[in-house]
Structure 1
Amino acid sequence: MATWNSRGLRGSTLEEMINRTNERYAEKKLALIQKIPTPITPIKIDKENRHITLAYFDKISTVDYIGAVQGIPVCFDAKECSADTFPLQNVHEHQIRFMEQFEQQGGISFLVILYSGKDELYYMPFQEIKRFWDRAQDGGRKSIRYEELNPEYFMQVMSGCFVPYLDYIQKDLDARD
């Protein structure tokens, strides 16, 4: 059995926290956000344990979550980072393109990054992601240093698992006005 920090389960702790948060937001009728499953085609299945042991990706996925918050379309991806620098290779070009197109259609796009070594969560608005992405594409730094992040977008985890990203969507919207 794989350990929690294996490549295959990387990000699962953060995703579980976000899934619970999404359930709570739906119960309170504040938002309807769904996890987008990664499309795969199974190659080998362990029939005894009913587990997929080998598969390939059908197509490139977009982001981890998509939905609506009080009538505003929202999409975001969950990322986990154990160091003080976030490698931009963790965000793929097709994800940047999708989030950019989503924003052009009037939606809100962002990343939720768990800095697991510091046990801190960060809401990264699309404009911030795009600035770092463009810097890397122009030959600059290929990672984001912790010190470069906007202190106003660090989230406080509540009740041990609640990720209050709605508050930061509002902050993101206010900054756009």
Structure 2
Amino acid sequence: MATWNSRGLRGSKLEDMINTTNDVYMEKRLAVVQKIPTPITPVKMDNESRHITLAYFEKKSTVDYIGVAQGVPICFDAKECAKETFPMMNIHKHQIEFMDEFEAQGGIAFIILEFTNLDEMYYVPLRDIFKFYNRAESGGRKSFTYDEVDKSYRIRSAGEAKVHYLEMVNKDLQSRD
């Protein structure tokens, strides 16, 4: 069983921006997307602050977010990368399998990847994730680079939507027709 030990909330800035964007989408009736909490069993708590300081993961998580946008089921994970290389080990096999099953049911699965050093965010469709994953599994490079990311899928801000990913969902849908 995996152990969780608080080391700060990695990825919380990106997730906060996505959560704000999801609130805007819901308010404007564009999408209903929710953050999926990872189920944990607390082991130790700080009695003063009432914060969990040590816990066990109850089961493997699937993706960070799931919902529906204009009738299209979507699921995605939020990832951050401080360098211009993203290690494939940061996307787990069970997550890829879940996203594959999700798309087999007519949904759209992707990753929102922020290159924090460049202050740029990208929509990485599942088909690209498969390409990078299969390469790693067949003995090739175990990561993908900034240069390999399709720059036409760059996510921009739009008003209160700091991570306006619905534009890229639409672009992805159009490329499938």
Coarse TM-score class (shorter-chain normalised): over 0.9
The corresponding residue for 1:113 is 113
Q: CA deviation at 1:160?
A: 7.5
For 1:132 and 1:145, locate their aligned partners in 2 and report how far apart those are by CA, in whole Å.
10
1:83-98 matches, within 5 Å, as 83-98=83-98
The corresponding residue for 2:61 is 61
SS at match of 1:157: coil
Output one character per residue of 1:93-120: Cα deviation in whole Å (capped at 9) or x when no partner. Answer: 0000000000000000000001000000
Output one character per residue of 1:44-84: Cα deviation in whole Å (capped at 9) or x when no partner. Answer: 11122111111010000000000001111100000000000
Q: Which deviates more, 44-53 or 65-74?
A: 44-53
For 1:27 and 1:12, locate their aligned partners in 2 and report how far apart those are by CA, in whole Å.
22
Q: Is the 8 A contact 1:121 1:157 kept in 2?
A: no
For 2:54 and 2:159, locate their aligned partners in 1 and report how far apart those are by CA, in whole Å.
37
Output one character per residue of 1:110-133: Cα deviation in whole Å (capped at 9) or x when no partner. Answer: 000010000000000111111111
Match for 2:91: what amino acid?
V
Match for 2:166: what amino acid?
L
Total equivalences in the alignment: 172
The corresponding residue for 2:130 is 130
Match for 1:28: what amino acid?
K
Output one character per residue of 1:3-60: Cα deviation in whole Å (capped at 9) or x when no partner. Answer: xxx9532111100000000000000000000000010000011122111111010000
For 1:40 and 1:172, locate their aligned partners in 2 and report how far apart those are by CA, in whole Å.
34
CA RMSD after TM alignment = 1.3
For 2:8 and 2:49, locate their aligned partners in 1 and report how far apart those are by CA, in whole Å.
18
Match for 2:8: what amino acid?
G
Q: Which has the higher contact order (CA 8 A, sep 6+)?
A: 2
1:16-35 matches, within 5 Å, as 16-35=16-35
The corresponding residue for 1:3 is none
Q: Which deviates more, 13-22 or 160-169?
A: 160-169
Match for 1:66: what amino acid?
I
Q: CA deviation at 1:161?
A: 6.0
Unaligned runs of 5+ in 1: 1-5
Q: TM-score, normalised by structure 2?
A: 0.94
The corresponding residue for 2:3 is none
The corresponding residue for 2:153 is 153
For 2:24 and 2:157, locate their aligned partners in 1 and report how far apart those are by CA, in whole Å.
14
SS at match of 1:34: strand
Unaligned runs of 5+ in 2: 1-5
Identity of aligned residues (%): 58
Instruction: Kindly report structure 1 stretches of 4+ aligned residues shifted beyond 4 Å.
Output: none
